[in-house]
Structure 1
Amino acid sequence: MRREKHKKLFEELEFRVRTTVKKLEPTKVKMTVTVDQKELDPYLDQTRQRIASQVNVPGFRKGHVPAAVLDARFGFAAIVSEAVNDAVPELYAKAAQKRELHPMDQPKLDVEAVPMKADDDTKLKFTAEVEVRPEFTLPSLEGMEVEIPAAEVKDEDVAERLEGLRKRFGTLVGVDRAAQKGDFVNIDLTATIDGEQVDSQSGVSYQIGSGNMLEGMDDALETLTAGEKTSFEAPLASGEHAGEKASIEVTVNSVKEEQLPELNDDFAQEASEFDTLDELKESVKKAAEQDAKGRQLQEARDAFIAKLEEGLDIPVPAGVAKQLSDDHINQLPKDASEENKKAAADEAEKELRDQMVLDQLSEDLKIEVSQNDVTDFLATIAQQYGIDPGQFIQSIVRQGQLGSAVTEVGRSKGMVAGMRQVTFKTSDGTVVDFSEYLPADEPETSDEEASAQAAAAAASIADSMTAASK
């Protein structure tokens, strides 16, 4: 509430703080802000009003204590100190906006001078070191052509989908023969290290050839029949002894093969609403074409950003890049290789550079973000996490993450607006029309990739809310 009052006051006053900006790095600046008393007075007044409403001073009604009395009773130095705590962050934000800086992180603020008496000529002075978006110029969108792969659907794509549908209606039938690749076996396992049993499991179902259990398991099981056992050595995949080599004894309880229904009209009627196999194939083909179009749209987004960045040398803020890189690396398994860690760090840097490009694009296109845009976006994320949208949005506001949501919606709208202005072509020159996927006035708040990007802040809150509810 206090900040809203401050904001209103500043809208009514000409902002006359003096600022100097020193570039420390291509992506880091130090801004020095000197504040006239007239700009500090609204914060002093608000602080005095707040104190007056909370204390009892003999001879005065609560909330109606004169400023001079408050200054004498509590000390001007104490009052100005509290006022400065409110003033500096807001004055910094106002000064950064006035100097057209684009902060990428929270600033390091340092108050250098404060008036300690009501008649003191000392001006409030503070510095702010902050990483900012570097200056760069994006190419014109007019006449821009972007090459993308064709959205091809091959016969084997349709066949693969039909095979998956057959498997859904397949049955497992017991067989009296040796197990072979593709069979499903029910097994008992015992693991020993130096003669001591360290693990055992019974009645485990496993498909030979899947390779998702122990190294050497598939070779050991092939040729065994129900009731037979064998042993082999392998490193354990999990548990207290994960990674240690153990002797594995495996017993086959049963062997079953998967029997799939024939592809005919009867199958089409059982597996779908269609009467014939040809109708089912046509439906599967259309679904494959729709998925291919979706992949092509994602490829178009990536190609569009790459085209914008073509030939540009865009440095990334080192501190922000490291923080994002650490976040990506922390999501890897603990035993991730250095190569995987480097790949995660490179991906983080690319993500940051892409975000800066989209921010610049949104500014170039003068994208505006409405309250409805942000509300719809956050409601979509809340729905994905199964959280009440109203509670989720309140949490976003309370935790100060609303700005992140506004920024992400702006990026999404800028991306859509930019893609609508360029021409996408396949390698043979065929123009691809994405207009039905690129709404003219709404951000793509339902897009999975966009919501994942936006929600670094929002999804974190959603995760914590989900965990709390559990």
Structure 2
Amino acid sequence: MKSAVETLSPTRAKLTVEVPFEELKPSLDAAYQKIAKQINVPGFRRGKVPPAVIERQFPGAARDEALNDILGAKYVEALEENNLTPLAQPEVEVLKYDDEGPLEFTAEVDVKPEITLPSYEGLSASVEDLAVTDEDVAEQVDALRERFGTLIDVERPAQDGDFVVIDLVATQDGEVVEGAEIAGFSYKVGNGGMIDGLDEALVGVGVDEEKTFTTQLVSGELVGQDVEVKVKVTQVQEQELPELDDDFAQEASEFDTLEELRTDVRERLTRGKRLEQAAAARDAVLESLLEKVEIPLPETMVTEELNARRANLEQQLQYAGMTLEKYLEDEKQTQEEFEADLERRVRDAVAAQFLLDEIADKEELGIDQAELTQHMIRRAQQSGQDPQEFVNHMFEHNHVPELVQEIRRGKALQILVEGAEVKDGSGNVLELKNLQADGSIGEPAAEGEEPAEAEETTED
């Protein structure tokens, strides 16, 4: 077999492949044998029909059958021969395929770009200070108090923060909107996320009083259209919170005093903030290295990732009962700003993948079965799936190579971060090497022992 490669762009190549007849013959012979077992020809036993008879009966059938096998095998062989890593399915064109002549075909495909790795020793980056304020602690303690609060009926109009029981119906042109009628629904005033305008309408409404307002639905057939919503309050309750004292601490936790509870809350918040800071550090170190190298990106790959992220966002918004327009309004972004920001993040993410893959190859990073299993279990937990079902799905749909790449990229990023100097806003050097998955700082790993891997807390 002869092959030649034409570089169409830094991320796209065209292979031209010529396969001589002697290399085609085994596939053709196998194709004739396969067809012979499938047909009945008078005078011949099944499986013993000569190729010449098959060709008279079914002209070209064996050549077509063999072609599928030959193209795939020779395409892979040509990729290996020219040291190309494909990123997508190729566009194949058969140029010549005669009865006794060679097979000639071309294959255009997006390929992994060649990257000249810059030095990644001694990188530096900075992140914001880790800060847990008294207000942060108080907010968490108050949230715990609410869990132990009691609801008491009150004879006054509803206020922000009250719990109300409501009947609600939405109509358009006097007709009830399908799926927009509820009764006896418990709702916290000011909670948001149900119907635009509901919280404002409920404030000042007493028991057995009604309020009508105009709003737009965010889901269903009438999404984006004006509807009239009538809400009736049938019960108003205010929440009575327990006193902040040692008795509350003993009821709500394993601690004897309120001060011990607050200390524990502060420590848990600190560990969470430390993980957030570590994630920011990883992003900052990776960004500092990306600034040192130009990585050409396959536009088809970027487009596919853009489309996937848009679809994922739209699905999440649909589950949350929110339109993209409302989301952008809350984020104070225009459509153009959103698209520009999304494309920037996608391009950075794709470039980071190529860069980390290159580092993983250079460092000859591998993984073992235990690491793969642990990674799959963590991924299953993050997505709320049964671990065994997730593992089965990954193997059945051949997603394991993708998971292996994820682990190798994580290891490559860990090498970058551990070799970098990361300081916070106050100039303190961050201790990242011994950071544990729960946000605590562990003891230095013994020689030859891998440190515990901190979980990713952010995702591009």
Shorter-chain TM-score bucket reads: 0.7 to 0.9
Give percent identity, aligned residues only.
36
Match of 1:212 among 179, 190, 193: 193
Q: How far apart are 1:265 and its partner, in Å?
A: 0.8
Question: Partner of 1:184 in structure 2?
Answer: 163
Match for residue 132 of structure 1?
111
Distance of 1:430 and 1:209 partners within structure 2: 41
Counterpart of 1:161 in structure 2 is 140
> CA separation in 1, counterparts of 2:392 and 2:161?
52
The aligned residue for residue 182 of structure 2 is 201
Cα distance, 1:145 vs. partner?
2.0
Query: 2:324 corresponds to which residue?
Result: 336
Letter in 1 for 2:324: A
Higher mean C-alpha displacement, 272-281 vs 26-35: 26-35
Contact 2:36–2:54 (Cα < 8 Å) also in 1: no
- Out of 405, 418, 421, the position equivalent to 2:419 is 421
- Structure 1 residue aligned with 2:154: 175
SS at match of 1:431: coil
Partner AA of 1:425 in structure 2 = K
Provide the secondary structure at the position in 1 that maps to 2:87: coil
State the one-letter code of the partner of 2:186.
S
Q: Which residue of 2 aligns with 1:33?
A: 17
* Pairing 1:106-145 to 2, within 5 Å after superposition: 106-114=89-97, 116-117=99-100, 122-145=101-124
Whole-angstrom distance in 2 between the partners of 1:131 and 1:364: 22
Give the corresponding residue for 1:235.
216
Residue of structure 1 in register with 2:308 after alignment: 327
Q: 2:189 is aligned with what amino acid?
A: I
Tell me whether 166-175 or 348-357 shows the greater mean CA deviation: 348-357
Q: Which residue of 2 aligns with 1:386?
A: 385
Gaps of 5+ in 2: 326-334, 437-444
Q: CA RMSD in A?
A: 3.5
Q: Which residue identity is paired with 1:170? A: G
Query: Which residue among 15, 18, 28 is the counterpart of 2:2?
Result: 18
* Cα distance change on mapping 1:116 and 1:186 into 2, 3 Å: same
1:48 deviates by: 6.4
CA distance in 1, matches of 2:46, 2:407: 45
Q: State the alpha-carbon separation in 2 of the partners of residues 105 and 336 from structure 1.
A: 31
Is 1:310 aligned to 2:287, yes or no? no
Q: Which moved more, 1:195-204 or 1:181-190?
A: 195-204
Cα distance change on mapping 1:261 and 1:130 into 2, 3 Å: same
**Farther off after superposition, 398-407 or 312-321:** 398-407
Partners of 2:135 and 2:113 in 1: CA distance = 48
Aligned 8 A contact 2:121 2:416 in 1: no
Task: Describe the superposition over 1:383-437 as per-residue Cα deviations: whole angstroms up to 9, x where unpaired.
Answer: 5553463x65454444343332333232223222333333322233322222234
Which of the pair is proportionally richer in helix? Answer: 1
1:225 is matched with 206
Contact 2:93 2:106 in 1 (8 A): yes
Structure 1 unaligned segments of length 5 or more: list them: 1-16, 454-470
Instruction: Kindly provide the amino acid, as one letter, of the partner of residue 2 in structure 2.
Output: R
Cα–Cα, structure 1 residues 446 and 114, in superposed 2: closer, same or farther, change >3 Å?
farther
1:231–1:280 CA distance, 2 compared to 1 (3 A):
same
Measure, in 1, the Cα distance between the counterparts of 2:236 and 2:354.
Answer: 57
In 2, Cα distance between equivalents of 1:313 and 1:146: 19
Query: Partners in 2 of 1:418 and 1:48 — Cα distance?
Result: 56
* Aligned residues of 2:118 and 2:293 also touching (Cα < 8 A): no
Q: Kindly tell me: are residues 94 and 201 of structure 1, through their superposed partners in 2, closer, same or farther at Cα, counting changes over 3 Å?
A: same
TM-score, length of structure 1 as denominator length: 0.78
Residues 1:53 and 1:273: Cα distance change in structure 2 (over 3 Å): farther
- Scaled by the length of structure 2, the TM-score of the pair is 0.80
Structure having greater relative contact order (Cα 8 Å, sep ≥ 6): 2
